[in-house]
Chains A and B, each alone.
Chain A
Amino acid sequence: MGKVIGIDLGTTNSCVAVLEGGQPIVIANSEGGRTTPSIVGFAKTGERLVGQLAKRQAVTNAENTVFSIKRFIGRRWDDTEAERTRVSYTCIRGKDDTVDVQIRGRTYTPQEVSAMILQKLKQDAENYLGEPPTQAVITVPAYFTDAQRQATKDAGTIAGLEVLRIINEPTAAALSYGLDKQDQDQTVLVFDLGGGTFDVSVLQLGDGVFEVKATSGNNHLGGDDFDNALVRWMIDSFRESEGIDLSIDKMALQRLREAAEKSKIELSNMLTTSINLPLSRLTTRALSIWKWS
């Protein structure tokens, strides 16, 4: 009997894990990362690139690189107008009012694109386990409708996985902390700040069963926005002190963005960090980020 894999199919990044001796172990992808960007790129040669590879070629191939497909899965064309303006690939109305993606003259449903990401995760899991996994559990946001859940399940099926269960993300988070084994009824607030979305849910736990009492959040707030805010702050303060506008220099901007992300990550376990780039020297105080959180 094969092992069951657990998949977090995220908007910006995805992750796959497996239970080993009762403990969940995150499976690293072929590039060594613990998460895989939820990006699918279609190269000129017809080759399909998923994850880091797709991300690296996104700039040269923007119109054929699909990201954030989770924002469209199982949703109706008319409900996604705002989302559609934010993406660089071509969306077309599919049958049954779905949002399909058109790449090099071919259309793909969001389920198919999601399945490509799932296939990549499945492959990584197979490399790790030594045998192909056949069954999976996939998490979805608590606010997902039945149609979105079904579509996610279909994506799993297309990827050749039997989806045993679709679990709410906040529930999965609570389970991973073992909150179901504490023999007491309790109310839990789950705070999920992802790469591009921010969800807050209130769960009630009784008899080992979680019930999502309420869920809310911001669909366009995530770690990437933190990076951008830091980059803007750096540009502004550099302009003030040096009178040079870094934002017109693409290369400088790129380096600022990397430095911003790095310093943000450092601030997860340090109170202060400094950003030191040969073109500028700035000190970020942790307070400026953490004051409001």
Chain B
Amino acid sequence: MIEEENQLKNAQRSETDTSEDVQQVESETMPDEATVQNSQEVASEFPTAESELEEPVTEVVAEPVEAEAAAQPVEAEAESLAIAELTQQIESLKAQVEERTGQYMRIAADFDNFRKRTQKEKEDLEQQVKCSTIVELLPVVDNFERARSQIKPQTDQEMNIHKSYQSVYKQLVDCLKRVGVAPMRSEGKEFDPNLHEAVMREATDEQPEGTVIEELVRGYLLGERVLRHAMVKVATAPEPVITSDEDYQGESDG
């Protein structure tokens, strides 16, 4: 067994040796194969007995020559195949780039919109926070006003207290004014759902239909924005179409 193996190896060795000669001639055209052969040489460990191996040598010499002849068209074919493959690759990459560019543009546009929108939202938010804060303070103003209309101070001392806290009320109103809060003057104007909230109506012939007769809860504006809608009583035509108790009650608490 070992002998056989050795023989085989020897044969391989000689094969490479001889083919190397051939290769050396060819090496200029086929450098790749030469290197392959060289590495084979390095790999083989055993020294050789050349004598035994006349026959394989001839065989091996013949082979590469044949291969050489056949290799030329195969190579051309492979080359064109490779080119086709590469062009295909380029195409697909191009398509990918196009797709990505499109995606990028869309994302960039989206982001631009987003930025604009957040900017706007930020401004809106600022306004909103301001509005919602002030709206919470408005009932204080209302109650100061209610107090002013209800409380009738009898003595000097009472008058003193009344005046004192009414000056606090004035200060509050001044502060609000400085921030930009303005009360609506709705009475006598035409009812406008943008500004007013109708809570009652009253039949009257003194004023045209749809006129605000009374402002029950004062409305406020902050610049152009409505802070709070005025709750109003609205005039209807003298002969009420619907004679509901609503109208009579409206008169009773007017």
Which A residues fall within an 8 A CB radius of B? 32, 41, 43-44, 49, 53-54, 56-63, 128, 130, 248-251, 254, 278
Contact of A60 (CB < 8 Å), options: B146, B194, B201, B241: B201
Using an 8 Å CB-CB cutoff, how does the interface string of B220-238 with A read, 1 for contact, 0 for none? 0000000001010010100
A56–B198 touching, CB < 8 Å: yes
State A248–B193 Cα separation when bound (angstroms).
26
What chain B residues lie within 8 Å of A254 (beta carbons)?
199, 216, 231
Residues of B within 8 A of A54 (CB): 193
Classify the interface of chain B: helix, strand, loop or mixed: mixed
CB-based contact B231/A60 at 8 Å? no
Binding site for A on B (CB under 8 A): 113, 117, 128, 143, 146-147, 191, 193-194, 196-201, 210, 216, 229, 231, 234, 236, 241-242, 246, 249-250, 252-253
Chain A to chain B contacts (Cβ below 8 Å), 14 pairs: A43-B193, A44-B210, A49-B193, A53-B193, A53-B194, A56-B197, A59-B234, A60-B198, A130-B117, A249-B253, A250-B253, A251-B199, A251-B200, A251-B253
Whole-angstrom distance between the Cβ of B185 and the nearest chain A Cβ: 18
Expressed in whole angstroms, the minimum distance between the Cβ of A25 and any Cβ of chain B is: 11
Once A56-B229, A60-B236 are accepted as A-B contacts, the answer to whether A250 and B199 lie under 8 Å apart by CB is yes
CB contacts between A and B, total, < 8 Å: 56
Given contacts A59-B198, A60-B201, are A278 and B146 in contact (CB under 8 A)? yes
Q: CB-CB < 8 A to A249: which residues of B?
A: 249, 253
User: How far is it, in angstroms, between the C-alpha of A202 and the C-alpha of B232 when the chains are bound?
Assistant: 45
CB distance from A216 to the nearest CB of B (A): 35
Residue ID in chain A nearest B200 by CB atoms: A250
Contacts known (A32-B128, A250-B199, A254-B199); A60 close to B191, Cβ less than 8 A: yes
CB-based closest 5 A-B pairs = A59-B198, A57-B193, A60-B198, A56-B197, A60-B234
- Asked if A57 contacts B191 (CB within 8 A), the reply is yes
User: Smallest distance from the beta carbon of A277 to chain B beta carbons, Å?
Assistant: 9
- List the B side residues contacting A128 at CB < 8 Å: 117
Taken together as a complex, chains A and B put the C-alpha atoms of A53 and B147 apart, in Å, by 32
**Shortest distance from the beta carbon of A251 to any chain B beta carbon, whole Å:** 6
Please measure, in the bound complex, the distance between the C-alpha atom of A19 and the C-alpha atom of B30, giving whole angstroms.
Answer: 64
Bound form: Cα–Cα A50–B147 in Å: 37
Complex CA gap A58/B229 in Å reads 14
A159 CA / B29 CA spacing, docked (Å): 78
Collect the chain B residues with CB atoms within 8 Å of residue A278's CB: 143, 146-147
Interchain CA distance A130-B112 in the complex, whole Å: 12
Question: What A residues does B146 contact at CB under 8 A?
Answer: 278
Nearest CB on A from B22, distance (A) = 67
List 12 additional A-B contacts (Cβ < 8 Å) besides A56-B196, A250-B200: A43-B193, A57-B191, A57-B193, A60-B201, A60-B234, A60-B236, A63-B241, A248-B252, A249-B249, A250-B250, A251-B199, A254-B199
| A256 CB, nearest partner CB in chain B, Å | 12
Chain B nearest Cβ from A45, distance in angstroms:
10
Chain A residues with CB under 8 A of B191: 57, 60
Kindly state the separation between the CA atoms of A54 and B249 in the bound complex, as whole angstroms.
24
Beta-carbon nearest neighbor of B212 in chain A: A60
* Chain B residues with CB under 8 A of A251: 199-200, 216, 253
Query: What is the bound-complex CA distance between A53 and B226, given in angstroms?
Result: 13
Contact of A250 among B113, B241, B249 (CB under 8 A): B249
Cα distance A254–B200 when bound, in Å?
10
Pick from B113, B143, B147, B201: contact of A59, CB under 8 Å: B201
Report yes or no: B198 in contact with A41, Cβ–Cβ below 8 A: no
Question: Would you call A59 and B199 a contact (CB within 8 A)?
Answer: yes
Q: How far is the CB of A260 from chain B (nearest CB, A)?
A: 15
Minimal Cβ-Cβ distance residue in A for B199: A254
